[in-house]
Each structure stands twice: as C-alpha cells, then as structure tokens.
Amino acid sequence: MLLNLTFLFLTFKINVDKKASSLKCQLMMVTPLVEDLKSKKEERIKQFADIKSQIEKINGEILGYNQITSTVSSLNLEEKELSIRKLGEYQSHLRSLQKEKSEHIQKVLAYVNEVHLMCSILGLDFGKTVSVVHPSLHDKRLEHATSISDNTLEGLENTILKLKTERKVRFQKLKDIVTSLFELWNIMNTTREEKQHFSRVTSIIRVSEAEVVEPGYLSTEVIQQAVSQEVVRLNKLRTSRMKMNNLLV
C-alpha cells in the first residue's frame, strides 16, 4: 500500500514538473513577443504624437495662434486609434495642411513684394506699412517666424487695395498737374532748358498707370514740391505779365 502511494506521488510530481517546465518554456517564448508589441505600441504612439504636434503647429500658423497641446501624455489614444488606417488618416491630413501652409507662404511673399513695390513708387515707408498688418512681416528680430495666418493674408490684401487706390489718385493728380504745366509752358514760351528739369515726371503723359514703376515717381514730394510748385510759379508769373500788359495798354 505504501509503495503504491509513493508511486502515485512520484508520478504526480513528475507530471507537475513537466507542466511547469512546459509553461515556463511557453512563457519564455511569449515574453519577447509581448515586449516587441509593447515597443511597437510605444513607437506608434510617438508617431501619432509627432503627427498631431505638426498638425497643431500648422493649424496655429494658419489660424493665427501659437498654442500647441499635442504631447504624448495628452494624446489619450484608445487602442483602436493606433491602427495603421488611423495613422494613414492623420498623415493624409498633415500633407493637406502642409500644402495649404506652402500656399499661404507663397501668397504672403507675393503680397509683401507687391506692397514693397507700391511703397517704393509712392515713396512710403515699407516697414511701417507692413508692420501695421503684422510686425513679423518686417521685424526679423522677433522670435516668431513670419506670420502666414488668414488674418495676415487678409490684412495684406486690404493694404494692397488701399495702396492701389492711392496710386490711382496720385497718378491722375500728377497727370492733371503735368497737363496744366504743358499749357502754361506754351503760354509762357518756356525754354527747353527749363522744361528739362521736369522731364522725369512729364513722361507721365505717355504712360499708363500700370507702367509707372520708378521709385518715388508718385511720392508726395515729387507732386507737391516739384511739379505743383512749378505750376504755382508759372501761374504767378503769368498773372504778373498780364498785369504788366494791362498797364502798358
């Protein structure tokens, strides 16, 4: 009887040892797989965090705010959100935003160049003009990059519209003054040498508004100090001569 019990005990122990050994082997096989999956999950979370951070940053640049909330700790992603499909959706959205950002940059550069040209023609301070829209458009010492937000684009568009309106007004004003100048020159028999001093601006008679690109051509200094004063001088001279003629008569 004792022998039978001993035999049964030994048999049971052997079976238990075999099972334990088998479980241990299985565990040793599974553990690397689990660790690999954990590593891949962490890497996937980092991918999502990086993409979300870029999306937030570009959104901020386009919408005009700088707060970025995307961090690994704030993602709070569910397991299903870590799928390749979901990652692909985020990547597609990021590419779309990157394209939109590129378009904004090109527009801002084009608008700033146009403002620079207009300010040059009108004799206006370019720095002050664009700084009204956004300081970063001129002051490169600022920490933030050049603004490309929707508000900045709208501000530049409005500025260009105002500058074009001012150019149109000044162009017509100068043209009217030069027309009067030619009439007075004819009346006063002004010499070619005297006319030569105003050759720069008298060419306005032969050009269109769009063709005027020379720096300072439509500045207030040119219109008021040079041409307008000459018209006033000639008018006074004509009046004086008329008085003299009346006295002689």
Establish if 149 belongs to a structural domain.
no
pLDDT in tens, 160-218: 999 999 999 999 998 988 888 888 888 878 788 877 777 888 888 888 999 999 999 99
Establish if 177 belongs to a structural domain.
yes
In angstroms, rounded to a whole number, what is the distance separating the alpha carbons of residues 57 and 69?
A: 9
Residue ending a domain, among 45, 60, 82, is: 82
Q: Could you tell me the residue range of the domain that residue 19 belongs to? A: 1-82
Q: What is the dihedral of CA 209, 213, 214, 216, to 10 degrees?
A: 70
Q: What is the mean pLDDT of residues 79-104?
A: 86
Number of domains forming the structure of the chain: 2
What is the percent of the chain with per-residue pLDDT over 70, rounded to a whole number? 72
Establish if 130 belongs to a structural domain.
no
pLDDT in tens, 213-248: 999 999 998 888 666 777 777 777 777 666 655 554
Residue ending a domain, among 82, 101, 129, is: 82
Establish if 122 belongs to a structural domain.
no
Q: What is the mean pLDDT of residues 94-120?
A: 94
Residue ending a domain, among 82, 116, 135, is: 82
Establish if 74 belongs to a structural domain.
yes
Please report, for residues 68, 81, 88, 129, the alpha-carbon distance to residue 85 in angstroms, rounded to integers and kept in the order given: 24, 9, 5, 48
Identity of residue 72: V
pLDDT of amino acid 98: 94
Establish if 184 belongs to a structural domain.
yes
pLDDT of amino acid 69: 47
pTM, rounded to two decimals: 0.73
- How does residue 2 score in pLDDT terms, banded at 50, 70 and 90? very low
* 229 vs 108: which has the higher pLDDT: 108
Contacts of residue 175, Cβ cutoff 8 Å, sequence gap at least 6: 204, 205
- How does residue 110 score in pLDDT terms, banded at 50, 70 and 90? very high
Contacts of residue 203, Cβ cutoff 8 Å, sequence gap at least 6: none
pLDDT of amino acid 25: 66
Establish if 33 belongs to a structural domain.
yes
Establish if 138 belongs to a structural domain.
no
Whole-number average pLDDT of the chain: 79
Contacts of residue 47, Cβ cutoff 8 Å, sequence gap at least 6: 87
Q: Is residue 91's pLDDT more than 80?
A: yes
In angstroms, rounded to a whole number, what is the distance separating the alpha carbons of residues 249 and 236?
A: 20
